[in-house]
């Protein structure tokens, strides 16, 4: 289990300063939710942590290890996207084991990891199906399974529920909370949904235009927002 430390993290795309200097500490095993309006830099910050984009300035530590120069595969993270990003021509089992296949893991070990993740996510009976034969909720569980089999030190979720209907959103949210309990992994979860933030987070990070506006427990932010922006975001659930 690893914590994270960000210091002075910045990211520009050309002349656009998108992430403007973020300092943040995340404890091992903590469930941290990044919230903020569309375009404030939530996905970009997650992608910087994952190594899918290079930072322009600052430093990132994952488990006391500087990672700015490491490839995504070396950072001990796994990311779950809003759009699932499954391979349509591969089965559920093959999708879940895909990353392990190229990390030198034996076939028997991959099978065992995939079975274990399928059990946790109740996908046992769907392992031979293709993504096209699954519902949206099942596809998202496969995407989560693909992260689980890698036993990452840190899970990153980018709005994983936003393509699901209301009922499935609630169900999948509870599953993610259960997963955090059983795996005890560090999780960083991006959403623009106040209810998700309030119910899932140990700690909420409110982002605004590439900067941290306020950090605190859901209750602390709800009871003592620093300003109207935070209050508007946390205090008025949909």
Q: Using CB under 6 A as the criterion, which residues of the chain lie in contact with ligand ADP when the complex forms?
A: 13, 16, 18, 36, 38-44
Helix orientation angle between 166-183 and 136-148, rounded to the nearest 10 degrees: 20
Nearer CB in complex with ligand ADP: 113/189 = 189
Strand ordering across the sheet containing 4-13: 16-26, 4-13, 57-62, 65-66
Residue 158: CB minimum distance to ligand ADP, A: 7
Nearer CB in complex with Mg ion: 42/146 = 42
Of 16, 15, 82, 90, the closest CA to residue 47 belongs to 82
Residue 97 interacting partner from Mg ion, ligand ADP, none (CB closer than 5 to 8 Å by kind): none
Binding site for Mg ion (CB under 5 A): 42-43
Residue 49: CB minimum distance to ligand ADP, A: 12
Check: CB of residue 137 under 8 Å from CB of residue 168. Answer: yes
Nearer CB in complex with ligand ADP: 42/203 = 42
Check: CB of residue 114 under 8 Å from CB of residue 127. Answer: yes
Helix intervals (H) in 86-227: 92-101, 107-120, 136-148, 166-183, 194-200, 218-223
Residue 86: CB minimum distance to ligand ADP, A: 21
Of 19, 23, 26, 79, the closest CA to residue 55 belongs to 19
Cα 76–174–209 angle (5° rounding)? 60
Residue 144: CB minimum distance to ligand ADP, A: 20
Residue 145 interacting partner from Mg ion, ligand ADP, none (CB closer than 5 to 8 Å by kind): none
Residue 53: CB minimum distance to ligand ADP, A: 7
Nearer CB in complex with ligand ADP: 92/230 = 230
Q: Residue 135: enclosing H or E segment and its boundaries?
A: none
Residue 39 interacting partner from ligand ADP, Mg ion, none (CB closer than 5 to 8 Å by kind): ligand ADP
CB atoms within 10 A of CB 62: 25
Residue 106 interacting partner from Mg ion, ligand ADP, none (CB closer than 5 to 8 Å by kind): none
Q: In the chain, how long is the greatest CA-to-CA distance? A: 55
Nearer CB in complex with Mg ion: 81/222 = 81
Residue 40 interacting partner from Mg ion, ligand ADP, none (CB closer than 5 to 8 Å by kind): ligand ADP
Residue 39: CB minimum distance to ligand ADP, A: 4
Nearer CB in complex with ligand ADP: 30/158 = 158
């Amino acid at each position: 289990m690893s914590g994270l430390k960000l210091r002075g993290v910045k990211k520009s795309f050309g002349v656009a300063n998108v992430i403007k200097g973020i300092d943040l500490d995340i404890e091992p095993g903590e469930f941290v939710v990044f919230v903020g309006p569309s375009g404030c830099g939530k996905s970009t910050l997650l992608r910087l942590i994952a190594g899918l984009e290079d930072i322009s300035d600052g430093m990132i530590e994952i488990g006391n290890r500087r990672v700015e120069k490491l490839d995504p595969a070396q950072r001990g993270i796994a990311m779950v996207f809003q759009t699932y990003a499954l391979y349509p021509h591969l089965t559920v089992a093959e999708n879940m084991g895909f990353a392990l296949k190229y990390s030198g893991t034996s076939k028997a070990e991959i099978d065992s990891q995939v079975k274990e993740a399928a059990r946790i996510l109740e996908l046992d009976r769907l392992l031979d199906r293709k993504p096209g034969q699954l519902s949206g909720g099942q596809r998202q569980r496969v995407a989560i399974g693909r992260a689980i089999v890698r036993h990452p030190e840190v899970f990153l979720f980018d709005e994983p529920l936003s393509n699901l209907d209301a009922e499935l959103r609630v169900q999948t949210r509870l599953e993610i909370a259960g997963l955090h309990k059983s795996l005890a992994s560090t999780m960083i979860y991006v959403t623009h949904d106040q209810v998700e933030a309030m119910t899932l987070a140990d700690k909420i990070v409110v982002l605004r235009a590439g900067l941290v506006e306020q950090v605190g427990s859901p209750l602390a932010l709800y009871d003592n927002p620093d300003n109207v922006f935070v209050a508007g975001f946390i205090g008025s659930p949909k």
